[in-house]
Amino acid sequence: MISPVLKVRDLCVERSGRLVVEDVSFDLNPESETAVVGPNGAGKTTLVAAVLGLLNRSSGDVEILGCPLACNGDLPPEIRSQIAYVPQSLALQGHFPLTVSEFVGFGFDSPGPRLPWRQRERRSAAVRHALERTDCNDLSYRLLSELSGGQLKRVMLSFCVVRPRRLLVLDEAQAGLDVSSNERFQHLLLELRRQEGWTVLQVSHDLDMVRRSSDQVLGLNRRVCCLGPPDHTLTQEHLTELYGPNIVPYRHHCRG
């Protein structure tokens, strides 16, 4: 039997005295992609934050790579270094003095204090390789704050790929991207996922993309409304339950 990369059981999360996520259970099998879908305010981001230990949970259990997540969100560093995360946005107001290669280098470093000149050559080589793999070599000396939305998302993937990891979590990573940038990002994500053997948990509003790329869909509206393969979950019945009666599922003819 394959042990799941992520195991969530009866997870409940309260925010400001209100239950935002209630009795959520699911598994992520190795090298699979799971999409979390649901309307705004359904608790998707809260679920992801609780699973990563960024928010305290009220009850339930979370296990990452066989290791239980402590109630205060602590995980052993060797497990933590197996996790990558792509947020919706970065706080890059104005001129932010940080180059792309510096940022990707921080993805290479292990958690905890370190001298900046330690493992310098290994680090630089890893950064160069990661930037090549995400087609960002020409961006290495650019400032993060000078990049377009699509470039920034590819750089975020370089940050994730600069060292081997097992679990990648994306929180509406494609928000704000135009159609072609989104397509390029998803294509790159799929390619890297296959090469790296990542297990992916992705919060998304793009149902077409979810249908094409996910192995499992978790429909969330505080509780789990549906869980299973896209063909069984992205149905008129489930989408009506999640979003109301005006959503019509669109079926793409080919899967990426």
Partner 1 sequence: MLLILKEPFMQRALLGGLLTGSLGGLLGSVAVLRQLSFFSDALGHSALLGITLGILLGVNPTLVLIPFAVCFALMVNQLVERSSLPTDALLNIVYSSSLAAAILALSLVETYRGGIRQLLFGDILGISNIDLIIVVVLLAIALAYLVLTMRAQVLLTLNSDLAGAVGVQTRWHRIMFIVLLAVVVAVSIKAVGVLLISAFVVIPACASRLLSRNFALYMVMSAAVGGGCALMGLLASGMTNLPSGPSVVMVQFFGFLIALFLSNHQLRKRSIARKALHQIPGAAPADH
Q: Which stretch binds partner 1 (CB under 8 A): 56-64, 143-151, 212-220, 224-232?
A: 143-151
Q: Pick from 29, 83, 26: which is nearest to 53 by CA?
A: 83
* Helix, strand or coil, per DSSP, at residue 8: strand
Output the smallest distance, CB 123 to partner 1, in A. 11
Angstrom CA distances, 44 to 39, 170, 181, 240, stand at: 9, 11, 23, 18
Here's the x/- map for partner 1, 172-211, by CB under 8 A: it reads as ------x-xx--x---------------------------
Output the smallest distance, CB 85 to partner 1, in A. 4
Interface pick for partner 1 out of 19, 143, 175, 190 (rule CB under 8 A): 143
Task: Output the six-digit token pair for 122.
Answer: 């290994």
Output the smallest distance, CB 48 to partner 1, in A. 9
Under 8 Å CB-to-CB from 207, ≥6 apart: which residues? 37, 234, 239, 249, 250
Interface pick for partner 1 out of 4, 107, 219, 230 (rule CB under 8 A): 107
Distance CA 133, CA 198 (A): 15
Interface with partner 1 includes 158 (CB under 8 A)? Answer: no
Q: Pick from 84, 89, 86, 64: which is nearest to 74 by CA?
A: 64
Which positions touch partner 1 (CB under 8 A)?
49, 52-54, 73, 75, 77, 80-81, 83-85, 87, 89-92, 94-99, 102-103, 106-107, 109-116, 138, 141, 143-144, 148-151, 169, 171, 178, 180-181, 184
